[in-house]
Amino acid sequence: MGIDRRNFFKVLGVTGATLALGKEVAAAEQEEEVNDAYGILYDVFMCGGCQTCEFTCAELHNLPAPEDVPEIGISRKTNDQRRTVVNAYDTSGGEVAVKRQCMHCLEPACVSACLTQAMYKTKEGPVIWREEKCMGCRYCMVSCPFDMPKFEYNSPNPKIIKCDMCYDRIKEGKEPACVEICPAGALVFGKRSELIKEARKRIMEMPEWYTDHIYGELEAGGTGFMYNAPVPFSEMDFNTKLQKRSYPELTKGFLYSVPTIFILWPTILLGIHEATKNKNNNQNKIQDDHA
């Protein structure tokens, strides 16, 4: 099956990329929809686990090159030394390789958690971290449902490390480095709405190759980085129980109550204070007692 699959995804990758790029022009002409920023579609089925994305990413961001390889049973994680990792899993559909990195949520928990706007959702789509604003509180790490922001614990001038979808390259009109370099064509960069169409098309046209689930289409309110896969995502260590609503919505109720309390409380407190004061005033002098 290995050779078959390899040939298959080469062809598919080329067509996929062409489709996505071709439609990108058309998409730009349409009126800009909310949330239709750039994203990446990654196909587990096509990925051979060669780690080229890891090497390129490390080189581009001045991080050490990876020294370990994907291995079944070992969960490699992104950390302050690497922004993306590829892991291997033994699934019902055979061995697969899965790339992990920041999901670039449409409504990111980290961005809503950040009290200095250091975590920032760009209009282009990538979620980036801005060094000059960050105070290193790590609330983004507490909030992120994907556990993606990583912290340099062993530095007196620590940074938050995570994938930024090569934001600088996107601004120059280039694709993210991992997308450009991927020899299997497993990564496609484009407008998110086009990527969803492409992912659906693959599932529709080749239901025997793909599980009927685009991870990231709805998870956590939708993410910029999305996955096609041949087997259910629960077999590849994905959290499939994530809520479909966005994570910032969890704090909205609380934050909305703040102005209400700020208006109601002082009024009520002042009222009670006046009421109780008058009662006691008749009994004894209390005027100077508020000290």
Partner 1 sequence: MREASSYTLSKDRTKESTWKFLLQELKPKGKLLTPFNIISIPVILLGAVIIAIRFWKGIGAVTNLSQEVPWGLWIGFDVVTGVAFAGGAYVITFMVYILNMRKYKSIVRVTVLNGFLAYVFYAGALLLDLGRPWNVVNPIIGNNFGTSSVLFLVAWHFLLYMVAQLIEFSPAIAEWLGAKRARKLLSGMTIAAVIFGITLSTLHQSGLGALYLMAKDKIFPLWYSEFIPILFFVSSIFAGLSMVIFEGSISHKVFGDQISEKNKGQHHSILHGLSKICAGTMLAYFFLQVIVFVHGQHWNLINTPLGYWYLTEMIGFVLLPLILFVISYRKRNILLIKIASIITILGIIINRLNVTVIGFRWDAANQYYPSWMEIVVTLAIIFTEIWVFRWVIRRMPVLRESAFSLTK
Dihedral angle of Cα 73, 78, 80, 83, to the nearest 10 degrees: 140
Distances (CA, A) of 78 to 10, 19, 161, 164, 185: 27, 31, 9, 13, 22
Calpha distance 252→247 (Å, rounded): 9
Query: Rounded to the nearest whole angstrom, what is the least distance from the CB of residue 201 to partner 1 in the complex?
Result: 31
Distance of CA 207 to the CA centre of its chain: 27
Q: Does the CA dihedral 210-225-216-73 come out positive or negative? A: positive
Query: Rounded to the nearest whole angstrom, what is the least distance from the CB of residue 160 to partner 1 in the complex?
Result: 8
Judged by CB under 8 A, does residue 240 bind partner 1?
A: no
Which listed residue (22, 94, 136, 183) binds partner 1 by CB under 8 A?
136
Distances (CA, A) of 186 to 46, 89, 102: 5, 17, 17
CB atoms within 10 A of CB 216: 30
Nearest to 113 by CA among 246, 244, 243: 246
Query: Rounded to the nearest whole angstrom, what is the least distance from the CB of residue 242 to partner 1 in the complex?
Result: 7
Nearer to partner 1, 92 or 287 (CB): 287
Judged by CB under 8 A, does residue 286 bind partner 1?
A: yes
Nearer to partner 1, 65 or 265 (CB): 265
Query: Rounded to the nearest whole angstrom, what is the least distance from the CB of residue 251 to partner 1 in the complex?
Result: 5
Within 8 A by CB and 6+ apart from 47, the residues are 86, 96, 97, 98, 99, 182, 184, 186
Per CB under 8 A, which of residues 69..128 are in contact with partner 1? 75, 77, 79-80, 109, 111-118
Nearer to partner 1, 92 or 260 (CB): 260
Nearer to partner 1, 67 or 289 (CB): 289
Calpha distance 2→260 (Å, rounded): 62
Which listed residue (5, 61, 76, 138) binds partner 1 by CB under 8 A?
138
Nearer to partner 1, 29 or 289 (CB): 289
How are beta strands 38-43 and 187-191 bridged, if at all?
antiparallel
Which window, 23-31, 41-49, 195-203, 283-291, contacts partner 1 (CB under 8 A)?
A: 283-291
Distances (CA, A) of 168 to 61, 81, 89: 11, 20, 32
| Location of structure tokens 């556990």 | 147
Which listed residue (48, 60, 139, 203) binds partner 1 by CB under 8 A?
139
Per CB under 8 A, which of residues 144..183 are in contact with partner 1? 145, 147, 150-158
Which window, 1-9, 43-51, 131-139, 190-198, contacts partner 1 (CB under 8 A)?
A: 131-139
Calpha distance 227→215 (Å, rounded): 5
Per CB under 8 A, which of residues 176..205 are in contact with partner 1? none
Which window, 8-16, 31-39, 84-92, 254-262, contacts partner 1 (CB under 8 A)?
A: 254-262
Which amino acid makes up residue 167? Y
Give residues in contact with partner 1 (CB under 8 A). Answer: 75, 77, 79-80, 109, 111-118, 132-139, 141-143, 145, 147, 150-158, 239, 241-243, 247-248, 250-251, 253-255, 258, 261-262, 265-266, 269-270, 272-273, 276-277, 279-280, 286, 288-291
